[in-house]
Structure 1
Amino acid sequence: MSHHPLEQVELTNMAAVIDRKNHKVLVQERVKSWCGIAFPGGHVEKGESVVLSTIREIKEETGLSIKNLKSCGIKDWYEKDQNKRYIVFLYCTEDFSGELREETPEGKVFWVDLDHLPQEKLSSGFIEMAEMMLGQRVASEFYYEIDNEDWKKKFY
């Protein structure tokens, strides 16, 4: 039997909260890390369900309660020098309630017209994730293949 060495894994999540009636999607202007406009999300805590972590993060960062999440795929990459994989579980939902919090330490939260999202000052690599989450790109995985300083985008 061969032994497969394990890699370290960091699990995160992101959700597109979509308001079809008003043709808008909820975004966050991130200020702490990965700066720019993106959908809200965060880390999966040790022992926590991925879906429940997404629901928790959206509540913490936006004030909204979400449910009926639909999986939209994953974004991931492997950093060889650190023996670490970073995985973002991507979700979307149109089922939300509550009062929107305007700002948290993570950044401002607001609605953007779906058609205007590409014109916003987006976080690096976010547009491809958004396309997957909004059904505009058919892929199950958005993978970065890292070759020295060159990060090549791959879709599977």
Structure 2
Amino acid sequence: MAKHELERVELTNMCAIIDEENQKVVVQKRVKSWCGITFPGGHVERAEAIVPSTIREIKEETGLDIRDLKACGIKDWYNPETSSRYIVFLFATTNFSGNLLEETAEGEVYWEDIEKLPDLELSSGFWEMAEMMLSRKYAEFSYLIDGKDWIKNFY
């Protein structure tokens, strides 16, 4: 059996918290890396399971407790310069409780109308992720990096 060289992988998560009654979602106006409007999320810690990592990150970044997460797909890309892969596990939920924080070190957090999302100052590549999470049209959003070009692929 052939051996495959392992690649370094950075695991992250993101969750669309949806208020179906008011047609709103929680957004974060990021001021650190990947600036702009996104859904909240963060990194998976060493040996942490994916869903619990998402629940933890959402609590830290929004103050909300979430349950009944539905997998919406993944976003990923392989960076040939660093020989590493970056993976974002995408989730959505309509089951939440608690009080929404106004701001964290990551940025301002607030409810936004779903229909207004395309008109906001979104983080680069976020709209495609939001569409996947809200419509569940694709299972994977991947970039193929070809020199300076980042080619989008949907599966």
Please indicate the TM-score interval, normalised by the length of the shorter structure.
Answer: over 0.9
1:81 has 2:94 as partner: no
Runs of 4+ in structure 1 displaced over 6 angstroms? none
The residue type equivalent to 2:96 in the other structure is F
Please report the TM-score for the alignment, with normalisation by the length of structure 1.
Answer: 0.98
TM-superposed CA distance for 1:154, in Å, is 0.2
Residue of structure 2 equivalent to 1:133: 133
1:45 has 2:42 as partner: no
TM-superposed CA distance for 1:73, in Å, is 0.2
Query: After the TM superposition, which residues 56-71 of structure 1 pair with which residues of structure 2 at under 5 Å, given as runs?
Result: 56-71=56-71
Aligned pair count reads 155
TM-superposed CA distance for 1:80, in Å, is 1.1
TM-superposed CA distance for 1:81, in Å, is 1.7
Gap regions ≥5 residues in structure 2: none
Residue of structure 1 equivalent to 2:154: 155
The 2-side partners of 1:40 and 1:110 are apart by 10
The residue type equivalent to 2:145 in the other structure is I
TM-superposed CA distance for 1:2, in Å, is 1.3
Please report the TM-score for the alignment, with normalisation by the length of structure 2.
Answer: 0.99
Q: Deviations over 1:15-74 (max 9, x none)?
A: 000001111000000011000000000000001010000000000000000000000000
The 2-side partners of 1:117 and 1:19 are apart by 14
The residue type equivalent to 2:2 in the other structure is S
The 2-side partners of 1:3 and 1:120 are apart by 46
Q: What RMSD in Å do the two structures reach over aligned CA positions?
A: 0.6
The residue type equivalent to 1:31 in the other structure is V
Gap regions ≥5 residues in structure 1: none
The 1-side partners of 2:140 and 2:32 are apart by 26
The 2-side partners of 1:116 and 1:5 are apart by 44
Residue of structure 1 equivalent to 2:24: 24
